[in-house]
Amino acid sequence: MIRPITIQDAQQIVDIYNYYVINSIVTLDLVSFSAQEFEDKIKTISNDFPFIVYEENNEVLGYAYANTFRTKPAYKNTVELTVYIKHTELGKRIGKKLYSELLFQLKNKNYHVVIGGLTLPNDASVKLHENFGFEKVAHFKEVGYKFGKWHDVGFWQLTL
């Protein structure tokens, strides 16, 4: 089931996210988050943008949301997307289901452009974005440093 996020989801969401903070370059965050920090994030983001979860048997297996791309008013119809899937549930098309719903909601709210920023390499996320019609529009080399190495970041864009 895909549904809007609630504050009660914070612990499950932070557990999903912190796995990637600790074990991968998918996020360039370096320090794990607390459930309280994610509660604040949920409140802030869900006030203005879609923030959804994928749930099975009362367990959150993934989440996705849109957020501010840049703060200048002229960018108000452009958003940046985020999706994370519980690491034990990868390959089950949960990300595709979440993105389908998120893009549907954003189109209905008259957003014009959606952007996905990816730490590279990340073949699964590149494939997810390109399957929805996103096109790579930028590649920044060695802009993030994690696990003793420099990492590239790419941006993919879709016009709704």
Q: What is the CATH number of the domain that holds 132?
A: 3.40.630.30
96-117 tens-digit pLDDT: 999 999 999 999 999 999 999 9
pTM score: 0.94
d(CA 47, CA 65): 12
Q: What is the residue type of 59? A: E
Total domains, the chain: 1
* Average per-residue pLDDT for the chain: 96
Summarize the confidence of residues 6-25 as an average pLDDT. 97
38-87 tens-digit pLDDT: 999 999 999 999 999 999 999 999 999 999 999 999 999 999 999 999 99
Q: Domain range spanning residue 31? A: 2-159
pLDDT of residue 156: 98
Cα separations in angstroms, 77 against 7, 29, 107, 114? 26, 26, 10, 9
How many Cβ atoms are within 10 Å of 29's Cβ, its own excluded?
14
Residues of the chain with pLDDT > 70, as a percent, come to: 100
What are the strands, taking DSSP E only, across the chain? 2-4, 51-56, 59-68, 78-85, 113-120, 135-146, 149-159
Of 60, 36, 50, 108, whose CA–CA distance to 82 is shortest?
50
pLDDT of residue 121: 93
